[in-house]
């Protein structure tokens, strides 16, 4: 059938054409719909970027406020859904709860499932952006046995997410503007990254005409692994361990370079970036600013800076072109904001939601799309006769 090569990890296989995100990994460039990531992070808002990714153009002021309103109005979830969110065992990993909850949205909102009706797809888009925010805050609260709050429509997307996550019921809550701005920026930085593992998963599930919720829930599961979105949590675990063992960065780096039990410097290296990840540069600046503004002097930040400094001048990392990726500094910011490490990857998922939706919609509208079905090269036994058990 003309099969010639296996391409493990699809290092050199393009699965689609896309107009959404451009990456030049050698130059460290990332653009959404042509707009440089640093400009969007500096000047845009998460919902504006979501609109841009999904609809292809920046919204007018009226379009943006209509979109924000619509998302805001859908942040409330069905009461039974709240009950459902409370049924997971304490100690369940938030990513498992999150993917289950997103999948379950299809059972609560069956009117939003038709993948071929543009209005229905637009409804599912808004529902997902709105309810993932609520789900992410509930994931945090149920893991701590805390009551689930209702959304407040008068507040902005990020501001109300923080209130629903951290506020004490019946007490006034004002989110620190520094935290609102920093989290908004982080969500923008995570909003899309072309055909990474989770996005490719969303596309391949959707290529079977599975609904948007089913496709995106699969993306959340793909994101949970430590080589992908789970890296932000793994970085903090790594920093904690180094600190607990006396804080010797050089000794840890020696183990990484010797590949002892597969120890890796988490938050370093990338399949596409062979230069400084432009998102990491922005996050690093933001980490300094947030920690300073919140008055949280975290010695783990110094440790991370020390690890980076060693890596950037060490031949092992230099020759392999390993630089900090987006996950290296994000955990330190999330921690300073008050999130438990197990919430770091759900925050990544919240940020990636617009990208998954945009990519799914692009795929569904692409006449070139076919069901995803890679081939293989069979290396097993040739044909042989079945032998009954008493003769084996």
Q: Smallest distance, Å, CB 174 to ligand CMC?
A: 32
Is 158 one of the binding residues for ligand CMC (CB under 6 A)? no
Residue 216 engages ligand CMC in binding (rule: CB under 6 A): no
117 is catalytic: no
The one segment of 31-39, 110-118, 147-155, 263-271 that binds ligand CMC by CB under 6 A: 263-271
Count of CB atoms situated within 10 Å of the CB of 35: 16
Q: What is the Cα–Cα distance from 181 to 301, expressed in whole angstroms? A: 20
Binding status of residue 192 toward ligand CMC by CB under 6 A: no
Is 214 one of the binding residues for ligand CMC (CB under 6 A)? Answer: no
- Residue showing tokens 């379009």: 63
6 near ligand CMC, rule: CB under 6 A: no
Considering CB under 6 A, how many residues would be counted as binding ligand CMC? 20
Among the listed residues 160, 184, 277, 327, the single catalytic one is 327
The answer to whether 270 contacts ligand CMC (rule: CB under 6 A) is yes
Q: Which of 326, 337, 350, 358 binds ligand CMC (CB under 6 A)?
A: 326
Can residue 268 be called a binding residue for ligand CMC (CB under 6 A)? Answer: yes
Cβ neighbours of residue 242 closer than 8 Å, sequence gap 6 or more: 248, 249, 252, 303, 307
Q: How far apart are CA 109 and CA 319, in angstroms?
A: 51
* Residue in 189, 193, 183, 188 with CA at minimum distance from that of residue 336: 183
Helix (H, G, I), strand (E, B) or coil at 290: helix
According to CB under 6 A, which one of 168, 227, 312, 318 is a site residue for ligand CMC? 227
Structure tokens belonging to residue 266:
């988490």
Catalytic: 327?
Answer: yes
- Tell me, rounded to whole angstroms, the distance of Cα 221 from its chain centroid: 10
267 binds ligand CMC (CB under 6 A): yes
Which residue in the set 71, 256, 283, 337 belongs to the binding site for ligand CMC (CB under 6 A)? 256
* Residue 9 is a binding residue for ligand CMC (CB under 6 A): yes
**For residue 187, what is the enclosing H or E element?**
helix 177-190
* Residue placing its CB nearer to ligand CMC in the complex, 271 or 296: 271
Q: Is residue 16 within 8 Å of residue 363, measured between CB atoms?
A: yes
310 touches 324 (CB < 8 A): no
Active site positions, annotated = 270, 327
Binding positions for ligand CMC, rule: CB under 6 A: 9, 196, 227-229, 231, 256, 264-271, 320, 322, 325-327
């Amino acid at each position: 059938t003309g099969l010639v090569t296996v391409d493990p990890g699809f290092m050199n296989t393009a699965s689609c054409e896309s107009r959404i995100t451009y990456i030049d990994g050698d130059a460290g460039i990332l653009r959404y719909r042509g707009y440089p990531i640093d400009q969007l992070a500096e000047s845009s808002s998460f919902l504006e970027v979501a609109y841009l990714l999904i609809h292809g153009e920046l919204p007018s002021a009226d379009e943006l406020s209509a979109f924000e309103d619509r998302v805001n109005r859908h942040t409330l979830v069905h009461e039974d859904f709240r009950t459902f969110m409370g049924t997971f065992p304490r100690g369940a990993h938030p990513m498992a709860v999150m993917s289950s909850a997103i999948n379950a949205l299809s059972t609560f909102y069956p009117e939003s499932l038709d993948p071929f009706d543009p209005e229905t797809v637009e409804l599912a888009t808004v529902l997902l952006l709105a309810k993932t925010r609520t789900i992410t805050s509930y994931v945090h609260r149920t893991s701590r046995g805390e009551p689930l709050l209702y959304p407040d429509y008068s507040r902005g997307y990020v501001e109300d997410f923080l209130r629903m996550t951290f506020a004490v019921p019946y007490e006034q809550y004002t989110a620190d503007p520094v935290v609102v701005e920093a989290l908004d920026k982080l969500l923008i930085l995570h909003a899309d990254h072309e055909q990474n593992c989770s996005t490719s998963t969303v596309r391949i599930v959707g290529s079977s005409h599975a609904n948007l919720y089913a496709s995106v829930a699969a993306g959340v599961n793909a994101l949970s692994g430590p080589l992908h979105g789970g890296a932000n949590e793994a970085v903090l675990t790594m920093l904690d361990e180094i600190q607990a063992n006396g804080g010797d960065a050089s000794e840890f780096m020696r183990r990484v370079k010797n590949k002892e039990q597969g120890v890796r410097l988490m938050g370093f290296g990338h399949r596409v970036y062979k230069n400084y990840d432009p998102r990491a540069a922005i996050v690093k600046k933001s980490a300094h600013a947030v920690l300073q503004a919140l008055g949280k002097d975290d010695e783990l930040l110094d440790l991370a800076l020390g690890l980076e400094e060693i890596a950037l001048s060490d031949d092992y990392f230099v020759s392999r072109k390993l630089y900090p990726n987006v996950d290296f500094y994000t955990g330190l910011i999330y921690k300073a904001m008050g999130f438990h490490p197990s919430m770091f990857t759900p925050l990544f998922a919240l940020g990636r939601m617009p990208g998954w939706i945009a990519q799914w919609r692009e795929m569904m509208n692409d006449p070139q799309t076919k069901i995803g079905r890679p081939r293989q090269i069979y290396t097993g036994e040739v044909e042989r006769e079945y032998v009954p058990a008493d003769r084996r």
